[in-house]
Amino acid sequence: MEIFAWGKFGGYGKSTRIIGRELVNRGYEVFALIPRRQQQQHEELLDGITVLGYSPKEILSIGTLCKKVNADIYHSCEPSIVTWLAMKAQPDAVHLVTCQDPKGFDEWIQEFHYPSKSKLQVVQNYIFEANFLVRKAVRAAHEVYVPAKFQCEKAQTLYNLKRPAGFLPTPTEIPASITKGDSPVVLYMGRLDHRKRPEMTLRLAESHPDVQFKIAGKARDPAYGKHLKDTYGHQPNVEFLGFVKQFVGDDHHQLFSEAWVYINTSIREGLPNSFIEAAGHQCAILSHVDPDAFASSYGRQVDADGFSEGLDWLLEDQRWRKQGEAGYAYVRDTYSVDVAMDAHEREYQKAWNEQKQ
């Protein structure tokens, strides 16, 4: 689907880049086959990964690229039409699929009503990611995984699988040490898209002038991003940080380390990487959505009108600290890079052995 580079900065792409980088570090030859982005060449080297890019016009040539790679294992880090094309081109290889965010039709309708960029793009994404050939490919995969436990049966239902999808954790970088400041900081990190409802966070800042709100991310719709800054940028306790590079420098980790509370106001989510990263930095989670009970277990889950009450509850008696420490322990034992990559390697080896029997 994507890799975190060349202007693409979503959670799918970050997972792909970390998995690929860590496999390279473990001695594997790794290729990434992705749609080509701005200023990206047909072939690039990124963190030791050979990245092959294709344009929409070249999608029918995917089979040729798959044969060129001639991999033993093809792992779709989110299913798409390319999953099906890879299976057709290399039927004797192992084909694995991780459904990062399995969406039913109702959730696609939500995406359509709250598009990141345009409604046309949502339709194009649906065709690329959810057509009948994609569903057929997922059913034909040697194994199907999800990165959150609540999605196991959901993926089974959506794709009519014979059994629930397996749980395969997303590798997440967790710092060795974390230093929290003396003053409360709420962090919003993610795209400034309509579906994620960042205005709810900014209105919360108006009612909590003694709390610092840091907004990290950019809008895919420049007009919407400008509207947010023009409307809320004057508030002294709001800081718009723009896009934060996550594979260059230490700003990304520093922001999570300083924050007391990580806020998510999105109308829907799978299990965002940002939840795992925030908990891995001892941040309490304040959110309406509650995938895998992350917010209710490691912070505060609230309804659409409950963010103010939820923030007050976390700040009172420093409840955020206990919640954050509990989240850190869970993420360290489940999603840390070594733990998650050991799980990936076990699944690759298992599928490879079964294929060769």
Q: How confident is the model at residue 245 (pLDDT cuts 50, 70, 90)?
A: confident
- Which position has the higher pLDDT, 246 or 228? 228
Distance CA 295, CA 312 (A): 15
In sequence order, what are the beta bridge partners of 76? Answer: 97
Check pLDDT > 80 for residue 257: yes
Asked if 11-171+337-356 and 185-334 have one fold, the answer is yes
Confidence of residue 41 (pLDDT cuts 50, 70, 90): very high
Q: What is the mean pLDDT of the chain?
A: 92
Is residue 313 scored above 80 in pLDDT? Answer: yes
Residues 11-171+337-356, CATH architecture: 3-Layer(aba) Sandwich (3.40)
pLDDT of residue 248: 77
Contact residues for 30 (Cβ-Cβ < 8 A; gap 6+): 20, 23, 24, 48, 49, 50
What pLDDT is attached to residue 38? 83
From 12-21, 117-126, 185-194, 253-262, the region with the lowest mean pLDDT: 117-126
Is the CB of residue 70 less than 8 Å from the CB of residue 90?
A: yes
The pLDDT of residue 355: 86
Q: For residues 309 and 315, give the distance between their C-alpha atoms in angstroms, rounded to a whole number.
A: 10
Summarize the confidence of residues 352-357 as an average pLDDT.
86
Rounded to two decimals, what is the model's pTM?
0.89
| Cα–Cα distance, 197 to 205 (Å, whole number) | 14
CATH homologous superfamily for the domain 185-334? Glycogen Phosphorylase B; (3.40.50.2000)
293 CB-near residues (< 8 Å, 6+ apart): none
Contact, 34 vs 5, CB < 8 A? no
Is 19:344 a contact under the CB 8 Å cutoff? yes
Domain ranges of the chain: 11-171+337-356, 185-334
**Is the pLDDT confidence value at 25 over 80?**
yes
Beta-bridged to residue 250, according to DSSP, are none
